[in-house]
Amino acid sequence: MNRRMPEAAAKGPEKRKASERRRQGRFDKVFAVYLAGDQGSARGIARNISSGGMFIETAAPFALGSAVCVTFTTSEGRAEIMARAEVRYQCALEFGGPDGQRGQLRGIGVRFLSFETSAREQHEHENQVLH
């Protein structure tokens, strides 16, 4: 008897496509975030966010496995959410543009561990009057 295994199972979990490994949907929105960790602090551009983590474009070096705090703010500065996260991977890309110029992109992938809201937002929520 010759049974064939499904292709993904035959390849093993490490050979499956990235889209097959992801458990959460992705939200491809670009916005500024602030990072803080043992290596210092930096500003970054968040991309490709999900409920489990996201990619952050930043030139700052954050070590693999290190803990970072990622702060999200609204453009008005009224709400602030902080995520505690772990650096899961680092990425450095060099690419050519249409005009022949070289471009570079560096960043980190983080996995969210927990979320907190700012004291200001908690205070405003507590004093909110519901009608």
Digit-coded pLDDT (tens) for 70-125 = 998 877 766 788 999 999 999 998 888 888 888 888 999 999 999 987 655 454 54
For residue 2, being part of any structural domain is answered with no
For residue 1, being part of any structural domain is answered with no
Label residue 13 by pLDDT band (50, 70, 90).
very low
Listed residue (70, 106, 113) closest to 89, CA to CA: 106
Polymer length in residues for the chain: 131
pLDDT of 99: 86
Give yes or no for a contact between 107 and 55, defined as CB atoms under 8 angstroms apart: yes
Could you tell me the residue range of the domain that residue 80 belongs to? 25-126
Label residue 24 by pLDDT band (50, 70, 90).
low
User: What percent of the chain lies above the pLDDT cut of 90?
Assistant: 40
What angle (nearest 5°) sits at the alpha carbon of residue 56, between those of residues 80 and 67? 75
* Number of domains composing the chain: 1
